[in-house]
């Protein structure tokens, strides 16, 4: 007597049941972008430099001011109206370049290496990639900047104590200025990330970033005075600086208006990046 056995192929339902199913969710995209950000050596180096710029330049400015006061020398014009807040934020214009450039590298770097194709293959809906990259890096830049400006103010205010520049955390406008400076640097990082997606070029993104924050304001100053005063309040750098200035000048926007203008520039950069990402192949 012979016994025959038949082997039935597994049903499609059985195979499907044994395979883990992975869903693309916003939380997983954020986690992926967080891991990619910290896996880059340039992230650690550039963030360290940005923090160093904020702290070192602020302490040096405060020490120089105190030295001029105690020695009886005439103050430099840049320090004539200095406060502990403005001295502590002396390194913000330099730190913005480091954070903005890193933002460009975070996004445009994937285009230069080709890894953006793998990212978009894993996340077919492209825009969540942009939102996640911008949010993760913007948050990191914001937290790092906040730590930097608070630490620098603590040290700087102690250095200039006893002078006319002395301020404390309870002084009017100090907390708003520190938070404004940190928010400004965080948004600069977001703009850098958006420019990287929009231009898909590290060199191009950095060039536009530097031009918008540093070169264009210099060119605008060459215009006739009436034109200059009409255009200047809407420049990204001027609007951003008003977010952390202690005193409002007649020709500069108020902190609230400066915030709105700078947020509008950030939204414009993100809108351009979203359009390019959604309409053009990687």
Phi–psi pair at 176, nearest 5 degrees: -60, -40
- The secondary structure element, H or E, covering residue 79 is none
pLDDT tens figures, 255-278: 999 999 999 999 999 999 999 998
Whole-number pLDDT of residue 202: 94
- The predicted pLDDT at position 193 comes to 96
The residue-averaged pLDDT of 28-42 equals: 90
Question: Rounded to whole angstroms, how far apart are CA atoms 172 and 81?
Answer: 16
Cα–Cα dist 11/109, whole Å: 44
Confidence of residue 86 (pLDDT cuts 50, 70, 90): very high
pLDDT at 123: 84
Q: State residue 140's pLDDT score.
A: 97
Length of the chain: 282
| 189: in domain | yes
What percent of the chain is predicted at pLDDT more than 90?
59
pLDDT digits (tens, 9 = 90+) for 104-136: 999 999 988 888 888 888 887 889 999 999 999
Give residues with Cβ within 8 angstroms of 176, minimum separation 6.
244, 255
Asked whether residue 8 is assigned to any structural domain, the reply reads: no
Q: Which of 47-61, 76-90, 142-156 has the lowest mean pLDDT?
A: 76-90
CB 180 within 8 Å of CB 244? yes
Residue 7: what pLDDT? Answer: 52
For the record, the structure tokens of 256 come out as 């609230």
> In terms of residue numbers, what domain contains 75?
25-279
Distance between CA atoms of residues 282 and 271, nearest Å: 17
In terms of pLDDT, which residue wins out, 145 or 249? 145
Residue 131 domain flag = yes
- In tens, the pLDDT along 49-70 reads 999 999 999 999 999 888 888 8
Say if 13 falls within a structural domain. Answer: no
Q: Mean pLDDT throughout 142-162? A: 95
Rounded mean pLDDT, 213-231: 84
Domain for residue 265, yes or no? yes
Specify if 43 maps to a domain: yes
When pLDDT is averaged across residues 211-238 and rounded to a whole number, the result is 86
Listed residue (91, 95, 88, 90) closest to 46, CA to CA: 95
**pLDDT higher than threshold 80 for residue 71:** no
Would you place residue 20 in the very low, low, confident or very high pLDDT band (cuts 50, 70, 90)?
A: low
Give the count of domains, the chain: 1
Q: CA-to-CA distance for 117 and 131, rounded, in angstroms?
A: 17
Count of C-beta atoms within a 10 Å radius of residue 1: 2
Inter-residue contact 213 to 97 (CB < 8 Å): yes
* Whole-structure pTM value: 0.88
Q: Is residue 124 within 8 Å of residue 30, measured between CB atoms?
A: no
Task: Compute the mean pLDDT over every residue in the chain, rounded to the nearest whole number.
Answer: 87
pLDDT (0 to 100) of residue 253:
86
pLDDT band at 222, cuts 50/70/90? confident
Say which residue, 182 or 69, is predicted with more confidence.
182
Quick check: is 145 in a domain? Answer: yes
Whether residue 2 lies inside any domain: the answer is no
Question: What pLDDT shows up at residue 282?
Answer: 62
Least confident of 7-11, 70-74, 201-205: 7-11
Contact between residue 146 and residue 178 where contact means Cβ atoms under 8 Å apart: yes
> Using CB atoms within 10 A of its CB, is residue 13 exposed (0-12), middle (13-18) or buried (19+)?
exposed
Say what the pLDDT of residue 102 is.
95
- Closest-CA residue to 163 (of 258, 65, 238, 39): 65
Check residue 1 and give its pLDDT: 43
SS3 for 281?
coil
């Amino acid at each position: 007597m012979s016994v025959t056995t038949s082997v039935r192929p597994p049903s499609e339902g059985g195979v499907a049941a044994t395979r883990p199913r992975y869903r693309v969710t916003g939380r997983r995209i954020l986690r992926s972008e967080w891991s990619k950000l910290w896996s880059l050596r340039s992230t650690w180096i550039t963030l360290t430099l940005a923090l160093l710029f904020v702290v070192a330049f602020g302490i040096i400015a405060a020490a120089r001011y105190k030295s001029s006061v105690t020695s009886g020398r005439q103050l430099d014009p840049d320090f004539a109206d200095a406060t502990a807040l403005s001295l502590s934020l002396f390194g913000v214009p330099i730190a913005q370049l480091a954070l903005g450039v890193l933002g460009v590298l975070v996004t445009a770097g994937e285009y230069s290496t080709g890894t953006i194709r793998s990212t978009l293959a894993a996340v077919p809906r492209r825009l969540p990639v942009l939102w996640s990259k911008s949010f993760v890096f913007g948050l990191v830049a914001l937290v790092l900047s906040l730590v930097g400006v608070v630490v620098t103010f603590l040290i700087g205010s102690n250095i200039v104590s006893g002078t006319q520049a002395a301020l404390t955390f309870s002084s009017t406008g100090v907390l708003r200025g520190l938070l404004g400076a940190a928010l400004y640097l965080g948004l600069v990082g977001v703009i850098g990330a958006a420019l990287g997606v929009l231009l898909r070029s590290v060199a191009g993104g950095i060039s536009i970033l530097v031009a918008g924050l540093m070169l264009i304001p210099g060119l605008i100053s060459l215009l006739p005075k009436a034109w200059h005063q009409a255009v200047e309040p809407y420049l990204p750098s001027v609007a951003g600086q008003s977010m952390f200035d202690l005193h409002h000048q007649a020709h500069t926007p108020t902190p609230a208006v400066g915030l709105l203008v700078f947020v509008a520039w950030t939204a414009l950069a993100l809108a351009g990046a979203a359009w390019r990402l959604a309409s053009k192949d990687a």
